[in-house]
């Protein structure tokens, strides 16, 4: 079989590749080195196939645009499986199938699935190559789009392969296929994929098999599949945490620096908070990560956060110079991939929220001629130019406010952890937990309205513990217990303080009451002052809230009644909330940590239950 690139010398890898080649029967094999030349060559190949177009080199240098199949636009949670050996370890929140049964089904699908295609071999490392315990993976895929994306999002290529060979490192095998073999002479489609999709994690074996989708979270296997689902299991066994969190550095006017990690569900504001442009005078924010954080205790007893990724795979709609100027600047530096947004006649991209005015005309995410005033030709006038889960993929090093500490393999010591969700009522703007255990309760009972980041209904309220519901690789109750235990074994003085936020409260007209984005710096300032014990708070049954003059609202444009509603504890809403939490916990059975029962009883006693 024709092979290009440098064949690896890693024995376990070679043995695995032999197996995969025999099963999937590709026409050719390419060993990826992650170089610029390889990028150019793969872009040319995808342009030729009609999968991507090159964007205007003056507006978006070295960048490409693609549209997916309209049915392959988001993570597929219904088809995502945790195949632990013991069903009980997958828990009530994950799909499970017996690993042998799953392998039988998937071997059937993989049989000959790469016929007519090239198989790409991508060695990658999640986190720094110089980390104390570097986490390697090798993804095999028949998609060149996946190769380009993995190059941006991970440390992928020759350097990683060399390190794996030198150290004879173990790795997580990650097998991906779009699931559309080509018969002799059969013409390809721009976005090959399959109706049948499986995103599968063999958690005891530490192995990932993905079939049928080319979309980010389903196909870039270093990201959600490895760095969250598989890593959460490694973290359980090794005493750390793999979390769906951004990491930022906040600096006060006096020069005191704070490190903060925040967990919000998909499409609930991580990328935006990570790159925030503060409106409060004198405060600055620097970015360390926007989606995934690995948390480990350092020798000094503090909890350190690292970002295992090297890029941003961010939600495009709503990203503009007014809401997230730092993301816009990262994109303008080029070297980026845009998926399912609008393509303008001058070879640039556009999406809702990028500018106030809509362009007169463009090509929409479905490839139709689209007009700002009338929508797509042949469609409804309210149809958007960009899919709500359209994404940009861009190197983190292009972020103008990237913190120097991003390059430190040890990471940064956390001062605060924030949990949050998208709730139109009940949850106040910001609440501080009484202690670690209460903070874990806040995280464990976090809830959010569903978004377009996963297929299925949007706007449905669901519990999303630590924003990890779709990403916990084991039993949710054991995961919560792991959080509790890590806190118990630590020095309470050194633990980060835990907060709960909600930017998304709405009024009777369904408008957001809190302006959000850069104004969220006012909340970060309060959090920093609480960490230092510099500002008082009101104790309520749900935790500590800002006093009437606690939040810095100088120059903030908000109706005083709205501000009051957003910031205060509303007992009647919590009397409704407590039984909902009880019902969520009921499904955990005996595995529900006793500490969470205690916290719920305490809440119920304080707020009553309806
Ligand atoms: P994933 O990449 O899916 O994990 O999403 P994320 O958590 O990084 O969310 P992101 O920052 O991309 O924001 C998602 C959507 O929420 C975008 O359309 C934003 O414009 C919007 N958004 C972010 N922050 C705020 C905010 O403070 N207020 C309001 N109203 N909307 C926000
Ligand atoms: C998310 O859905 O939380 C994302 C995008 O960050 S994906 O990589 O598709 O999971
Ligand atoms: Mn995410």
Residue 374's pLDDT is 97
Q: Is the CB of 351 under 6 A from ligand 1?
A: no
Instruction: Give pLDDT tens digits for 102-130.
Output: 999 999 999 999 999 999 999 999 999 99
Atom of ligand 2 nearest to the CA of 291: 6
On the question of pLDDT at 271 being above 70, the answer is: yes
Instruction: Give pLDDT tens digits for 287-303.
Output: 999 999 999 999 999 99
Atom of ligand 1 nearest to the CA of 389: 3
CA-to-CA distance for 272 and 286, rounded, in angstroms? Answer: 12
Q: Which of 466, 530, 449 is nearest to 496 (CA)?
A: 530
Query: Over pLDDT 90: what percentage of the chain?
Result: 99
Q: Which fold has domain 318-387?
A: Phosphoenolpyruvate Carboxykinase; domain 2 (2.170.8)
CA 92 to chain centroid? 22
Name 468's Cβ contacts closer than 8 Å, sequence gap at least 6: 228, 232, 243, 244, 263, 479
Residue 485's pLDDT is 98
Residue 252's pLDDT is 98
Q: Is the CB of 75 under 6 A from ligand 2?
A: yes
SS3 state at 560 = helix
Distance from the alpha carbon of residue 266 to the mean position of ligand 2, in angstroms = 6
- Report the top-level CATH class of 241-312+404-574: alpha beta
Atom of ligand 2 nearest to the CA of 224: 10
Is 389 assigned to a binding site? yes
Q: Is the CB of 266 under 6 A from ligand 1?
A: yes
Distance from the alpha carbon of residue 313 to the mean position of ligand 2, in angstroms = 7
Mean pLDDT to the nearest integer, 455-462: 94
Instruction: Name the DSSP class of 568.
Output: S
- Taking CA atoms only, the protein residue closest to ligand 2 atom 3 is 266
* pLDDT band for position 609 (cuts 50, 70, 90): low
Distance from the alpha carbon of residue 231 to the mean position of ligand 2, in angstroms = 16
CA-to-CA distance for 237 and 243, rounded, in angstroms? Answer: 15
Residue 533's pLDDT is 96
- Taking CA atoms only, the protein residue closest to ligand 2 atom 7 is 217
Instruction: Give pLDDT tens digits for 494-524.
Output: 999 999 999 999 999 999 999 999 999 999 9
Q: Is the CB of 269 under 6 A from ligand 1?
A: yes
On the question of pLDDT at 317 being above 90, the answer is: yes
Instruction: Give pLDDT tens digits for 459-474.
Output: 999 999 999 999 999 9
Place of tokens 């919000």: 264
Nearest 10 degrees: Cα torsion 356, 359, 364, 369: 150
Distance from the alpha carbon of residue 217 to the mean position of ligand 2, in angstroms = 5
Query: Residues 124, 139: contact at Cβ < 8 Å?
Result: yes
Residue 568's pLDDT is 96
On the question of pLDDT at 545 being above 90, the answer is: yes
Pairing of strands 64-66, 245-251: unpaired
Count Cβ atoms below 10 Å from residue 588 Cβ, excluding itself: 20
- Taking CA atoms only, the protein residue closest to ligand 1 atom 27 is 516
Catalytic-residue membership of 268: yes
On the question of pLDDT at 610 being above 80, the answer is: no
Distance from the alpha carbon of residue 67 to the mean position of ligand 2, in angstroms = 17
Superfamily per CATH, domain 3-52+80-226: Phosphoenolpyruvate Carboxykinase, domain 1 (3.40.449.10)
Is 335 assigned to a binding site? no
Asked whether the ipTM of the predicted complex exceeds the cut of 0.95, the reply is yes
Q: What is the pTM of this model?
A: 0.98
Count Cβ atoms below 10 Å from residue 198 Cβ, excluding itself: 23
Instruction: Give pLDDT tens digits for 569-585.
Output: 999 999 999 999 999 99
Catalytic residue among 83, 174, 268, 393: 268
Instruction: Give pLDDT tens digits for 139-173.
Output: 999 999 999 999 999 999 999 999 999 999 999 99
Provide the token pair at 84: 């632990």
Q: Do the two domains 241-312+404-574 and 318-387 of this chain adopt the same fold?
A: no
Q: Is the CB of 271 under 6 A from ligand 2?
A: no
For the chain, domain boundaries = 3-52+80-226, 241-312+404-574, 318-387
Provide the token pair at 492: 């309470």
* pLDDT band for position 608 (cuts 50, 70, 90): confident
Mean pLDDT to the nearest integer, 390-407: 98
Instruction: For residue 326, give the ligand nearest its CA.
Output: 1
């Amino acid at each position: 079989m024709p092979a290009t690139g440098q064949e690896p010398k890693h024995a376990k890898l070679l043995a695995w590749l032999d197996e995969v080649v025999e099963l999937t029967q590709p026409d050719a094999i390419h060993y990826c080195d992650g170089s610029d030349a390889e990028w150019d060559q793969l872009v040319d190949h995808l342009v030729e196939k009609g999968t991507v177009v090159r964007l205007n080199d003056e507006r978006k240098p070295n960048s490409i645009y693609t549209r997916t199949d309209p049915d392959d636009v988001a993570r597929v949670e219904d088809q995502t499986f945790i195949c632990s050996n013991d069903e009980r370890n997958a828990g009530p929140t994950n799909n499970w199938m017996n690993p042998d049964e799953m392998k039988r089904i998937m071997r059937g699908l993989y049989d000959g699935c790469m016929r007519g295609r090239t198989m790409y071999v991508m060695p990658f490392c999640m986190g720094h190559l110089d980390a104390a315990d570097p986490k390697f993976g090798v993804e095999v895929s028949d998609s060149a789009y996946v190769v380009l994306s993995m190059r941006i999002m991970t440390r992928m290529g020759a350097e990683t392969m060399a390190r794996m060979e030198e150290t004879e490192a173990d790795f997580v095998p990650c097998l991906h296929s779009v699931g559309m073999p080509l018969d002799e002479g059969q013409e390809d489609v721009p976005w090959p994929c399959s109706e049948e999709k499986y995103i599968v994690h063999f958690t005891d074996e530490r192995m990932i098999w993905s079939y049928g989708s080319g979309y980010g979270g389903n196909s870039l296997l270093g990201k959600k599949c490895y760095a969250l689902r598989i890593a959460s299991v490694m973290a359980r066994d090794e005493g750390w945490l793999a979390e769906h969190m951004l990491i930022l550095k906040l600096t006060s006017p006096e020069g005191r620096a704070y490190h903060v990690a925040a967990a919000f569900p998909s499409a609930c504001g991580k990328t935006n908070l990570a790159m925030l442009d503060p409106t409060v005078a004198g405060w600055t924010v620097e970015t360390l990560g926007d989606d995934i954080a690995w948390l480990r205790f350092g020798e000094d007893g503090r909890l350190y956060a690292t970002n295992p990724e090297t890029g941003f795979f961010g939600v495009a709609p709503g990203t503009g110079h007014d809401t997230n100027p730092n993301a816009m600047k990262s994109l303008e530096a080029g070297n980026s991939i845009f998926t399912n947004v609008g393509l303008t006649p001058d070879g640039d991209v556009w999406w809702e929220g990028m500018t106030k005015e809509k362009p007169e005309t463009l090509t929409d995410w479905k490839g139709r001629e689209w007009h700002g005033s009338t929508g797509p030709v042949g469609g409804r006038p309210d149809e958007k130019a960009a899919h709500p889960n359209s994404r940009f993929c861009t190197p983190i090093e292009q972020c103008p406010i990237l913190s120097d500490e991003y390059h430190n393999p040890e990471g940064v010591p956390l001062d605060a952890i924030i949990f949050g969700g998208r709730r139109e009522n009940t949850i106040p703007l910001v609440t501080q937990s009484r202690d670690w255990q209460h903070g874990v309760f806040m995280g464990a009972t976090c809830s959010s309205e569903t978004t377009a980041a996963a297929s299925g209904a949007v706007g449905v309220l669901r519990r999303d513990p630590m924003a990890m519901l779709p990403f916990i690789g084991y039993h949710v109750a054991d995961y919560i217990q792991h959080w509790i235990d890590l806190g118990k074994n630590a020095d309470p003085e050194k633990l980060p303080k835990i907060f709960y936020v909600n930017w998304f409260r709405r009024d009777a007209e369904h408008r957001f009451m809190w302006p959000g984005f850069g104004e969220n710096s006012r909340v970060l300032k309060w959090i920093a002052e609480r960490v230092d014990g510099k500002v008082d708070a009101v104790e309520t049954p749900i935790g500590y809230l800002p006093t009437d003059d606690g939040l810095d609202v100088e120059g903030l444009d908000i109706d005083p009644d709205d501000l009051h509603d957003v910031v205060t504890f509303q007992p009647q809403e919590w009397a409704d909330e407590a039984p909902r939490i009880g019902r969520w916990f009921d499904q955990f059975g005996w595995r529900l940590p006793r500490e969470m029962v205690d916290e719920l009883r305490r809440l119920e006693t304080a707020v009553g239950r309806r």
